[in-house]
Structure 1
Amino acid sequence: MNANAIVQKLWRLCAVLRKDGITYQQYVTELTYLLFLKMMAERQREEGNIPEAYRWDALVKAEPMQKLRVYREALTKLGDPEGSLPRMVQAIFDNASTFIREPQNLTTLITAIDDLDWFSDERDQFGDLYEGLLQKNAEETKRGAGQYFTPRVLIDVLVRLMQPKPGEVIQDPAAGTGGFLIASDRYMRARTDDYFTLGEKEQKFQKHQAFHGMENVPGTLRLLLMNLYLHDLDSDNVDLGDTLSEKGKRLGKADLILTNPPFGPAGGAPTRDDLTVTASVSSYQLPFVEHCIRSLKVGGRAAIVVPDNVLFEDGRGKALRQMMMDWCDLHTILRLPTGIFYAQGVKTNVIFLTKGKADTGNTDEVWVYDLRAQMPKFGKTNQLTDDHFKDFVGAFGADPYGAERGEDQGEEGRWRCFTREEIAARGDNLDISWLREAEDEAEEGLSEPEDIAAAILGHLQAAMLEIEALSAVLEDGAPEAAE
């Protein structure tokens, strides 16, 4: 049975647990615990990390009325920080508890998982299976899931454009469930015969040092660690913490940053002493961009998903854009379609930049691709696909640093070039559009209630961001120059 078929079968079991009052996300968390134990049993060489009383076989053999008791005990013992189990096991089961109340529901789930044919002659499919479950959860709970799940198609496009290379440090400071890190690993494996063309030292680097990340939500970190483990990636450089706090400095310098930071109110300004331009900003998006700029090595590159207000906000926002264009070559902006990030509540873009050697004059021109205007409506019934990005990929070119450009398509096209002087004449406002927006018509065509509700929520949250930005400008006065 292939991974997609297993995902569909496991997802249908969610209907059983819904009767137990379990949400989709709780179901995925529950599956994380059970699939981890099952995976350890399938990979017999690793099951020694689990005490015999709490292994998968013990759960399967327990009497139906005892299964829930054994399962609850296992969650407690495996997550005990005072225990002697490996860090990864303790982290996955940290503060774990089950949402299942009915023993029969647990028996149904365990039996279904145990009956599946997990064997494959191909590379272990557990990773693909787990990612499939995360994607199903995102599709079913779009508003909440968007906090940590970036559409796979967008991740894959950005990874292909940025071309991660073995030996590079790759960072995601808002790692979520690890989509960017795993896609980067997959991209490099495909071009190095699963790393076998590398030397022993290079292989060790890829497994233990290449990938760095931080996630601030404990429940999401659990999913992240599971996802990394199933894809045979070491998690020693992935940690729980707030990137905008002093702990964020531990992420270190990176050759490549790929990230979709959280948007909206952060509940307070950053507590790091090095984020000087956005020191007083109490939302996530601006300080995260400053973190990325400062964390890149010279010559390092980044692709960052940002909401529109990063491109037009005055005050600290303008100071951040000036810093970005001075310190980096901000060579490309991709205006993303509406409907794919309603969960964050705002229109979004991807900014592509390369860190310069000096702290001034690195951006000569910015190329903008408008994939938002005059696009079809996107929602649950119309998913974004790789084909939608084909023209942008062609215009971007084969160079990850933006050195190869397709021809400027003029006012009737989607791909245009703007000089640094033209941008300065706009007050350094990078929210550049020239095609007639079709957003109103697109939203009029939405049919799914959840898409309509998400669109309304998006407008409300976007308005809140603008109000917060105006309030910050009024409170702070003129921004200080970037240091």
Structure 2
Amino acid sequence: MSTAQNQAETRRLVDKLWSYCNVLRDEGVSTIDYVEQLTFLLFLKIAHERETDPLAPERILPSSWQGRGWEELEGTQGDELKHRYERLLADLGDQPEGTPLNLIFGKAQNRVQNTANLSKLINDLINKEIWSGKGTDVNGDAYEQLLSRGAADTKTGAGQYFTPRPLVDAMVRCMRPTPQDTITDPACGTGGFLLAAYAHIVDKHAAELDRDELRALASKNIWGTELVHGTARLAAMNLLLHGIGSWDGGQVIHVEDALAMGGRKSSLVLANPPFGKKSSITVVGEDGKATREDVAYSRNDFWVTTTNKQLNFVQHIAKQLDIPGRAAVVLPDNVLFEGGAGETIRRNLLHDYDVHTLLRLPTGIFYAGGVKANVLFFDSKVPTPGQPLTSKLAVYDFRTNQHFTLKTKALRADHLDDFVDWYLSADRPEDRKPNDLVQIFDYDELVARDKVNLDLIGWVKDDSAEDADSLLPPEVIAAEIVEDLQAALSEFAAVAEALGTTAKEDESTD
């Protein structure tokens, strides 16, 4: 297919998939739950197509499952279809841990209780399409678009696992991943960074790679970690549909707590860690009541022990980098200025790594409301005894005078083109082409600031503050007010949580 044909086929497929999503929403099935059901069914259908391919049959389900799988579902109706589907999900979920089958089907549940709708989904939507023949571009892009729409379903909170694709692509363009890189995301969500990195490598280097090198890239050099099993299954399917990983071999998405272990070293980390501040687990007592307990990770490679999840991810990502290595990480504002553990981490990061670029992001681009965030770029290098690795930090202000909303003015790739062009104009920030949105700070100036505060702002004129002719549309103003209020509430909630923790500690010492 040509590019135009691929795009047209993707649109057709997305429209068809989305029409069924609208039907199921009336049944109470959320967008993300719908995508999860598609994940189960697409896996079974593609497995069936590959196993019955007359030219090159490939067995994906266990050999003992002859006659089981998609064959049990197609053409079946009513309660019998529902019974067979739920039995399949349970049996597939019981496959050994560490296998693609367990990752995709572990803890799987049928969310489509209406048998008529389940029959339409299986027999009309999935069964009437040939999924193996469409190519990874069509299948993967259609699935990715559904995940994007699912992220906008605020009732499910799915947006916390989804980074805006224009931002992902800009970060990848700046990092310029190569076939020699080992690439990871320790909080991979639905796998957007891993997909973008792989696509960049294939686009720029495919001509110089043979089949074995491409296979190694897709199965060994790219991997992600995700704490939530349901999200990990979406990431795994997303990658499989894009040609990353293996349908019947080792998996590239690992369901585990990345902060609890050092993990495999990598030359490139791309990440948008969770914005929640506290690391916690749910504990069910003997009385059956669930409580949440804060978790502090005692890793001997961390600079400081803290229960702050965001700060722990900064430490983890820094320690996961090989030498040489590079990282691009989305971080909320508070990571730049919080005292205590935050100051310790920033001071060590500036000394032990080359922290060279900070991109200040505008509000209104994330599905999680009230987020003020940045992208921090830093490299790991061979240390020079007695000398800090950071020499200069360039701060690019893409926040002042920028106004985005998810619906009326969404972030596009071209909005970040100027930043990417500036970033790629030279390796060192001080050598990049001049830009009015950039200010450069020396290492000595940074560590001399109170609490090593990296929340560096103030040189870009805010046009809206003085120019009455530049008043924004009411819907944009309203959206920004909501963002500011949500951000303030988040900070108050964090303070209240901290005070509550302190009070508990005081009670325990009485």
Q: Are the aligned partners of 2:364 and 2:403 in contact in 1 as well (CA < 8 Å)?
A: no
TM-score, L = length of structure 2 = 0.82
2:80 counterpart of 1:80: no
In 1, the alpha carbon distance for the partners of 2:116 and 2:429 equals: 57
2:361 counterpart of 1:351: no
SS at match of 2:274: coil
Name which of 337, 340, 346 aligns with 1:321: 346
- Look up the equivalent residue of 1:318 and give its one-letter code: E
Q: Are the aligned partners of 1:343 and 1:458 in contact in 2 as well (CA < 8 Å)?
A: no
Name which of 373, 381, 391 aligns with 1:364: 391
Q: 1:400 to 1:41 in 2, by over 3 A?
A: farther
In 2, the alpha carbon distance for the partners of 1:154 and 1:142 equals: 23
- Give deviations 1:423-442, integer Å, cap 9, x for gaps: 23422211011135589987
Written as runs of structure 1 = structure 2, the 5 A alignment for 1:373-388 is 373-388=400-415
1:445 paired residue number: 475
Please state how far the C-alpha of 1:475 moved relative to its aligned partner.
Answer: 12
- Look up the equivalent residue of 1:429 and give its one-letter code: N
Q: Are the aligned partners of 1:214 and 1:243 in contact in 2 as well (CA < 8 Å)?
A: yes
Please state how far the C-alpha of 1:5 moved relative to its aligned partner.
Answer: 2.2
Name which of 447, 453, 478 aligns with 1:429: 453
Name which of 224, 228, 245 aligns with 2:235: 224
Query: Which ranges of structure 1 fall in alignment gaps of 5 or more residues?
Result: 477-483
In 1, the alpha carbon distance for the partners of 2:48 and 2:428 equals: 44
In 2, the alpha carbon distance for the partners of 1:471 and 1:425 equals: 32
Please state how far the C-alpha of 1:145 moved relative to its aligned partner.
Answer: 2.0
- Look up the equivalent residue of 1:261 and give its one-letter code: P
2:424 counterpart of 1:397: yes
SS at match of 2:259: coil
1:99 paired residue number: 111
Q: Are the aligned partners of 1:92 and 1:222 in contact in 2 as well (CA < 8 Å)?
A: yes
2:208 counterpart of 1:208: no
Please state how far the C-alpha of 1:46 moved relative to its aligned partner.
Answer: 3.8
Written as runs of structure 1 = structure 2, the 5 A alignment for 1:149-298 is 149-193=162-206, 197-199=208-210, 202-234=213-245, 236-245=251-260, 248-249=261-262, 251-264=263-276, 265-267=278-280, 268-279=294-305, 281-298=306-323
- Give deviations 1:419-467, integer Å, cap 9, x for gaps: 2233234222110111355899879634899x97666433311333466
- Give deviations 1:300-336, integer Å, cap 9, x for gaps: 0000000001111111111111111111111100000
Question: Which piece of structure 1 moves more, 322-331 or 32-41?
Answer: 32-41
2:35 counterpart of 1:28: yes
2:365 paired residue number: 340
Q: Are the aligned partners of 2:369 and 2:483 in contact in 1 as well (CA < 8 Å)?
A: no
Q: 1:386 to 1:82 in 2, by over 3 A?
A: closer
SS at match of 2:455: coil
In 1, the alpha carbon distance for the partners of 2:310 and 2:49 equals: 42
- Give deviations 1:3-49, integer Å, cap 9, x for gaps: 22211221121122123221222111111111222222343434552
Q: 1:95 to 1:257 in 2, by over 3 A?
A: same
Please state how far the C-alpha of 1:338 moved relative to its aligned partner.
Answer: 0.1
- Look up the equivalent residue of 2:193 and give its one-letter code: F
Q: 1:401 to 1:38 in 2, by over 3 A?
A: farther
Question: Which piece of structure 1 moves more, 148-157 or 464-473?
Answer: 464-473
How many residue pairs were aligned?
A: 463
Q: Are the aligned partners of 1:263 and 1:344 in contact in 2 as well (CA < 8 Å)?
A: no
Q: 1:471 to 1:293 in 2, by over 3 A?
A: farther
TM-score, L = length of structure 1 = 0.87
1:12 paired residue number: 19
2:333 paired residue number: 308
In 1, the alpha carbon distance for the partners of 2:70 and 2:424 equals: 49
2:88 counterpart of 1:63: no
SS at match of 1:40: helix
Q: 1:459 to 1:89 in 2, by over 3 A?
A: same
Query: Which ranges of structure 2 fall in alignment gaps of 5 or more residues?
Result: 1-7, 52-56, 281-293, 466-470, 506-510
SS at match of 1:192: helix
Please state how far the C-alpha of 1:56 moved relative to its aligned partner.
Answer: 2.5
Identity over aligned pairs, percent: 35
Please state how far the C-alpha of 1:345 moved relative to its aligned partner.
Answer: 3.9
- Look up the equivalent residue of 2:45 and give its one-letter code: K
In 1, the alpha carbon distance for the partners of 2:475 and 2:447 equals: 38
SS at match of 2:160: coil
Q: Are the aligned partners of 1:298 and 1:357 in contact in 2 as well (CA < 8 Å)?
A: yes
2:154 paired residue number: 141
Q: Are the aligned partners of 1:244 and 1:272 in contact in 2 as well (CA < 8 Å)?
A: no
In 2, the alpha carbon distance for the partners of 1:97 and 1:40 equals: 20
SS at match of 1:273: coil
SS at match of 2:161: coil
In 1, the alpha carbon distance for the partners of 2:125 and 2:134 equals: 22
- Look up the equivalent residue of 2:457 and give its one-letter code: S
In 1, the alpha carbon distance for the partners of 2:369 and 2:314 equals: 16
- Give deviations 1:35-79, integer Å, cap 9, x for gaps: 222222343434552635543343122134421111111111111
In 2, the alpha carbon distance for the partners of 1:364 and 1:122 equals: 47
Instruction: State the superposition RMSD in angstroms.
Output: 3.1
- Look up the equivalent residue of 2:403 and give its one-letter code: P
